[in-house]
Amino acid sequence: MSANRTPLPTPGENFMAVGEPEQELSVDQVGDVETPDQWWQVLWSSKKARIGIIILGVYVLVAIFAPLIAPHDPLDGSFEPLAPASSTNWLGTTTSGQDIASQLIYGTRISLLVGLFGGLFATVIATVIGLTSGYAEGTLLDDLLSFLTNVFLVIPVFPLIITLVAYSEVRGLWLIVAVVSITSWAGAARAKRAQIITLRNRDFVTAAKFSGEGTGRIVFREIMPNMSSLVLASFVGAATGAIFAEAGLAALGLGDSRNVSWGTMLYQSEQQGALAQGLWLWVFAPGVVLAVLMTATTFINFGVDLLSNPHLREDA
Amino acid sequence: MRYIGRKVLYFLATLWAVVTLNFLIPRLQPGDPAEIMVRRLAGKDAALDQAQVEAMRAMLGTPTDSLWAQYVTYLQELVQGNLGLSYTYYPFPVTQVIGQAFWWTVVLVTVVQVLSFVGGVVLGAYAAWRRNSRFDSVVTLGSTVLGTLQPFWIGLMLLYVFGYTLGWFPTSGGFSEATPGWNWAFIQEVVSHAFLPALALLIVMPIGWILGMRNTMIMNLGEDYIRLAKAKGLTDRDVALRYAARNALLPSVTGFALALGSVLGGAILVENVFDYPGLGRLMGEAVSQKDYPLLQALMLLSAVAVLVANLVADLLYGVLDPRARRAEG
């Protein structure tokens, strides 16, 4: 079980320890006896997930070291406009004389930041709402939270995001992160609600209740570690959605105006009529780097599936 | 009957929530929203267009009223179909502006949704039936690869290749010279203009159906009733279509409404790429012109469309699967 990775003793061990206080096993010793695969070992054992992790790693490095890798400042418009690809401008320049390759490299930062934080916040919201609702199944609280979840599940996300962002005067990165996370948690919350309903009547939960633990602790410290693969899967899904949403918003002209992202590149290229002028590289490049990043997250998700469904592991 | 009642009640409750959310969004900002918005518009161009102020008033009601009074007025106006005046197209009401773009998007989205559903379900079912065959691996791998692409970016690439470079299709608009109406020339133009936007969406949208159908079908093929059907000596065709596929289709019905939401989302961007005269382009325009009444109305319309689709799917599910009726009824 993946729950063994946490420093907390798993609920089963806890229960044992209560029964036999003189034979205290440390968590490490228990790990030595069973040696289940750690979650990263399972993830790494899948060839697809390994490829995904490596690609994502390259993107992370590019984002961190963008100033060292990029040949120019992405907003420096001092080059000859509409230049074809050359040794100075690897992918040519825009209509306003900016270096496309440098924009592409800096754009990695925005996409990864939006993916990381958008995915993180959406997962936190989904986890809190899904787990609370499922643990309180059948109560008024559950009805209310389920209703809220279903409303957000049914409202088309993209028009809602556009409307919320359009009202805001300052369109920074954090606004996009916030709007994306408060609009896209519903699907994951429903999945988590379903999962906790199957877990909440297990023996270890009953044991935790009898030992006098509070509800919050039972839900988030006892039950949640058993759902870590689902949480991880929903994080990957939410991060992917956030990256897509940012690209779409920016392509519509609702992006962060002070930073270059792949979406803003697409927006500007469209505004300048890049395709009509035959500047296809300007349009092609941001879409390709985005697609490769999406491929990486899809591949990582195959690995995450192995975590949540051990039956799949034999084929990998 | 109780099943239907429950679903209709649920639909009404969700509708109320969506309508209320639509009311609250412009008022979430601190201070007096009408004043803030008017001032923001004034800040941009010094001379304030009176038309815009009027439109804003019409949308937000009298700002001095209490929030509750505004809410009541809003609901009354909404029931009468009054969503305020667009100020890009002042003095036309928002509903009239939307009405002109409405059918363009309805046709595009319906064609895409139906073809995606049918195509996706057929491909997914066949891939599952011939599991691990070459066809299956091509379909599964293809779906995974194409699923990483954004429809609007596919649209841009199609536009470049088939629009600008090869010149096979028009590059923008919904029609060119023909007089709109039921004449052959107009229909031809509409089809040729809508072809690339539809294709851009059709490359991505069936993927969810394909993978979903394939998974459920594979699960169903392991069931005893399939083994029994085979043992009875039914043809492969009958077992695949009348037993496995028919049952595997059920979960796809519930996904119908949610898929409509993503088709709408994709259509917004694709329509802007092709300058297609539908609701998506109107939304893009509303965003760039800060035409808030129009934007709000479009948001509400898309949410209601998905809600209605959801209700239809739920009711259909009740007809198709008696278990659903019994369990919840």
**CA atoms within a 13 Å half-sphere pointing along the CA-CB vector of B250:** 17
Bridge partner residues of B85 (DSSP): B93
Rounded Cα–Cα distance for residues B26 and B30 (Å): 10
Rounded to the nearest angstrom, the minimum Cα separation between B109 and chain A is 14
Q: Which of A27-31, A281-285, B238-242 has the lowest mean pLDDT?
A: A27-31
Question: What pTM was estimated for this model as a whole?
Answer: 0.83
d(CA B265, CA B280): 8
Q: pLDDT tens digit string along A35-59?
A: 667 777 878 888 888 999 999 999 9
Residue A51's pLDDT is 92
Say if residues A313 and A79 touch (Cβ distance below 8 Å).
no
Question: B114: exposed, middle or buried (C-beta count within 10 Å: 0-12, 13-18, 19+)?
Answer: exposed
Check residues B92 and A141 and name the one with the higher pLDDT. Answer: A141
The answer to whether A275 faces chain B, any CB pair under 8 Å, is: yes
Say which residue, B245 or B258, is predicted with more confidence: B245
Whether A54 and chain B come into contact, CB under 8 Å, resolves to no
Task: Convert the pLDDT of each residue in B10-22 to its tens digit.
Answer: 899 999 999 998 8
**CB pair distance less than 8 Å for A166 and B295:** yes
Q: Is A253 on the interface with B (CB under 8 A)?
A: yes
Residue type, B289: Q
Cβ separation A167–B283 shorter than 8 A: no
Chain B partners within 8 Å of A147 (Cβ): 13-14, 17
The span from the CA of A267 to the CA of B248, in Å, is: 41
Asked if A179 contacts A165 with a C-beta cutoff of 8 angstroms, the reply is yes
pLDDT > 50? residue A1:
no
Instruction: Show contacts of B2-11: CB within 8 Å, 24+ apart.
Output: B2/B329, B3/B318, B3/B324, B3/B325, B3/B328, B3/B329, B4/B315, B4/B318, B6/B328, B6/B329, B7/B311, B7/B314, B7/B315, B7/B318, B8/B311, B10/B314, B11/B307, B11/B308, B11/B310, B11/B311, B11/B314
Secondary structure of residue B254 in the 3-state scheme:
helix
Is residue A213 classed exposed, middle or buried when 0-12, 13-18 and 19+ CB atoms within 10 A define those classes?
middle
- The percent of residues in chain B predicted with pLDDT above 70, rounded, is 87
Confidence label for B28 from pLDDT (cuts 50, 70 and 90): confident
Chain B CB within 8 Å of residue A66 CB: no
The token duo for B119 is: 């195509």
Burial A162-188 (b: 16+ CB within 10 A, else e): bbbbbbeeebebebbbbbbbebbbbbb
Q: Which two tokens stand for residue A199?
A: 């877990």
Q: What is the mean pLDDT of residues B276-285?
A: 91
**Of the ranges A89-93, A97-101, A265-269, B185-189, which one carries the lowest mean pLDDT score?**
A89-93
CB contact under 8 A, A156 and B171: no
Nearest to A96 by CA among A264, A230, A312, A249: A264
Say which amino acid occupies A115.
G
| Cross-chain residue pair B258–A147, CB shorter than 8 Å | no
pLDDT at A12 over 80: no
Contact B306 A154 (CB under 8 A): yes
B20 part of contact set with chain A, CB < 8 Å: no
| Chain position carrying tokens 């927006």 | A267
**Of B153, B286, B303, Cβ closest to residue A155:** B303
- Which residue has tokens 């599991």? B131
Query: What is the pLDDT at residue A11?
Result: 43
Confidence band (pLDDT; 50, 70, 90) for B109? very high
Does B92 contact A at CB distance below 8 Å? no
Interatomic CA distance for residues A58 and A54, integer angstroms: 6
Nearest CA in chain B to A302: B144
- Considering only CB atoms, A244 lies closest to which of B28, B150, B159, namely B150
Length of chain B in terms of residues written? 329
Q: What is the spatial distance between Cα B258 and Cα B57, in angstroms, rounded to a whole number?
A: 34
Minimal Cα–Cα distance from B311 to chain A, Å? 11
Rounded Cα distance between B227 and B224, Å, is 5
Range in A236-240, B42-46, B87-91 the model is least confident about: B42-46
- Yes or no, beta carbons of A154 and B257 under 8 Å apart: yes
For range A278-292, the mean pLDDT? 88
A75 vs B299 pLDDT, higher one: B299
B27 to chain A: nearest residue by CA? Answer: A167
Query: How does pLDDT run across B296-312, given as a tens digit for each residue?
Result: 899 999 999 999 988 88
- pLDDT tens, position by position, B157-187: 999 889 888 888 888 787 777 777 778 888 8
Structure-token pair, residue A250: 């920016």
Note whether B211 contacts A: Cβ–Cβ < 8 A. Answer: no
Cα A74 from Cα A103, distance rounded (Å): 5
Cβ neighbourhood burial of B158 (10 Å; 0-12, 13-18, 19+): buried
Averaged pLDDT for residues B52-64: 62
Radius of gyration of chain B (CA): 24
B94 CB-near residues (< 8 Å, 6+ apart): B83, B84, B85, B86, B293, B294, B297
Q: Is B148 on the interface with A (CB under 8 A)?
A: yes
In chain B, residues with a C-beta closer than 8 Å to the C-beta of A170 are none
Q: How many residues does chain A have?
A: 316
d(CA A308, CA A292): 25
Enter the DSSP assignment of A93.
B
Q: What digits encode the pLDDT tens for the residues A161-211?
A: 998 888 877 778 898 999 999 999 998 999 999 889 888 888 999 899 899
Q: Could you tell me if A6 and A222 are in contact, meaning their C-beta atoms sit under 8 angstroms apart?
A: no
Mutate to test the interface with A, among B12, B24, B140, B269 (most CBs of A within 10 A): B269
Q: What is the CA radius of gyration of chain A?
A: 24
Chain A environment of B12 (Cβ under 8 Å)? none
- Distance from the first to the final alpha carbon of chain A: 18
DSSP B81: T
Tell me: the pLDDT tens digits for B182-206? 788 888 888 888 889 999 999 999 9
Q: Which two tokens stand for residue B250?
A: 């059920």
Nearest alpha carbon to residue B301 among B9, B111, B33, B94: B94
> Which stretch of A148-157, A228-237, B23-32 has the lowest confidence by average pLDDT?
B23-32
| ipTM surpasses 0.95 | no
Whether the pLDDT of residue A21 is over 50: the answer is no
Q: Is A18 an 8 Å CB contact of chain B? A: no
CB contact under 8 A, B153 and A158: no
Report which of A295, A290, A185 is spatially closest to residue A248, judged by C-alpha positions: A290
Confidence of residue A14 (pLDDT cuts 50, 70, 90): very low
Asked whether the beta carbons of A289 and A266 are under 8 A apart, the reply is no
Q: Would you state the structure tokens that stand for residue A207, as one six-digit string?
A: 């044991």
pLDDT surpassing 80 at residue A141: yes
CB atoms under 10 Å from CB of B326, counted, come to 10
**A-B contacts (CB, under 8 Å):** 127
In angstroms, the CA B57 to CA B54 distance is 5
User: Contact B258/A153, CB-based, under 8 Å?
Assistant: yes
> A150 — contact with chain B (CB < 8 Å)?
yes
Query: A36-45 burial by CB neighbour count: b if 16+ within 10 A, else e?
Result: ebebeebbee
Q: Residue B208: its pLDDT value, please?
A: 87
Q: Which residues of A touch B272 (CB under 8 A)?
A: 252
In the Cβ-directed half-sphere of A113, how many Cα atoms lie within 13 Å?
19
Inter-chain residue contact B306 with A295, CB threshold 8 Å: no
pLDDT of residue A256: 81
Run of H or E residues at B10: helix B2-24
Distance of residue A294 Cα from the nearest chain B Cα, in angstroms:
5
